[in-house]
Structure 1
Amino acid sequence: MNSSRQAQLLQYGRELIESELSEAQKLLHRLDHNFIQACELILATKGKVVVSGVGKSGHIGKKIAASLASTGTPSFFMHLSEALHGDLGMVNSTDTIILISYSGRANEFNFILPILKDLNVPIIAITGGKTSPLAKAANTVLDVSIEKEACPMGLAPTSSSTNTLLIGDALAIAVMRARGFNEEDFARSHPAGSLGAKLLNRVKDVMRTGERIPKIAESATVFDAMLELSRTGLGLIAVCDANNHIKGVFTDGDLRRLLLNNGTLHDPINQVMTSPGYRLPENKKAIEALKVFNDYNITAAPVVDQNDCLVGAINIHDLHQAGIS
């Protein structure tokens, strides 16, 4: 590809972005009492917020519904055409509906608007047609009108769809902030993501259990501890009494220091262990456990239940592998 063609492509891209930014800037100054009313309608909704549109408006609508749902507002997308063939049965008077259409004159509105009025469903219109049938039927209108599309032919939805996306994001985030929706709330909607791993997982969710728990009896020797350290590879073992209560801990570092100081493998473990040693509660958040490791400069710890009985073990690698860092 020659350099003039490359320069031309860059120019096309810049012109489009400049055009869309210009139209979006006008949208900023158009937020008024209608936006406030739309937010209040959503906040007062006892059921779900239903987002509906067709074509490019439908694609944007799906994103708006997803943003609302993930930020604390129960929401789903309903295709405008499918609404006329049974899906409208998903909507009732406890819901609020957001209808998206730049012209506000889609043929489907001739059928759906009277039904929504009969159901007494509040309607939020996102449209550029301020005098359209959609705008006239709505409880509040969010004006996303533009002077021109960024498409040079003025045909492909570009600036208009960007404005629609922006107003949808503004609604979702304004309502989210009004609800006091926080990081932990967000994590519950995204349990498989890194944020969910950090904020939702507790020590018991990622710890080692069963045969993977490194432990020995308090009557054992250093030799027994060495074998258990080798078997489990955690770098730490818990020294427990007959009731499974931790009396102390012993690490591979302790073993090296003992041998360097002329200790022997026959020494009783209860004489060389660290007592009582640090232990983690099983219900402690995993992200807090990581902070403990960093603050105390340790890499592993036994885990206890509410009765202070050994139930697991965990090291810093277990936390990292669970996406907690």
Structure 2
Amino acid sequence: MQRICVIGGSRYFGKLLVERLQGAGHRVTVVNRGSTSPPAGVEHLVADRNDEAALTAALGSRTFDVVVDQVCYTPVQAAVAARVFAGRTRRYVMTSTIEVYDPATAALPAVPWGTPVPEESVDPAVWPVAMDLPWHEDAYVEAHYAEGKRQAEAVFARAGGFGFASVRSAHVLGGGAQEFTGRLAYYAGRIARGEEIAVHAQPLPTVFIHHEELADLLLWAATAGFTGAVNACSDGPLDVYGFAAAVAAQAGREPVYRTVAAGGQASAFSFDRHYAMGNARAKELGFSFSRTGDWLPGAVAEALTAEPSPTV
């Protein structure tokens, strides 16, 4: 049994992670702003993670074996957490994203098409950090999501005082209406209604992970001993045509495509650039992944009954 603090953990795979940790016998503390209470038996501390004094006060004298940070989006947030948890934990795990590898948002080493992008393509130890950017503005953070995650990882990696690991998640699907991005529901709805999917002329593949598998991986990462980044994705990349075909098989209709001009706006999961990451490191460390094709049909079936979403 370990004492584990989860920052966030109020929805989707974060909520599932809290349940998994509790079920595994760990003593769990959840820190969030109080909009959602954790399961019975889980300690709940209400604090705004952006308010250093309030977060420090809420934690009191508590210490933890592990902190799992589900909601860190900026280097400023990371710096606050690094100061507050210094001396309070031996291990810090941050949930990050495949978007850190997107070449559209940063100058990154080129990876040949067909080669799974490895963790070393983005090294937090040397990634530049700019604390003076408008990270306090929600619109800026949303528009610079990938860079915020890269810089947050960089702050933690250099903080010292605890072992740091980041879990770079693929596109998360499953759970029906719980899947708050609405991307799978978007595809399910449009294909079921015979509406167009906007695609690039030569779309490249990407990678996915089921929300339950990601919760399992975060549980594993919390209690493991490795440091540094691990990519989290199921086996079996798909391009937008393969993805839409999987949706169509459940919807009972053929997809209708519209090809966009070069540089044009396409639907989610149609990519004109390569950053499909690989999961070899996590496997070498001992985690076993499912195949996308094994769980995607069930996730589509759930999405077909979810509320329509405007997400593209």
Q: Flag whether TM exceeds 0.5 (same fold).
A: no
Comparing both structures, which one devotes a greater share of its residues to helix? Answer: 1
Larger Rg: 1
TM-score, L = length of structure 1? 0.25
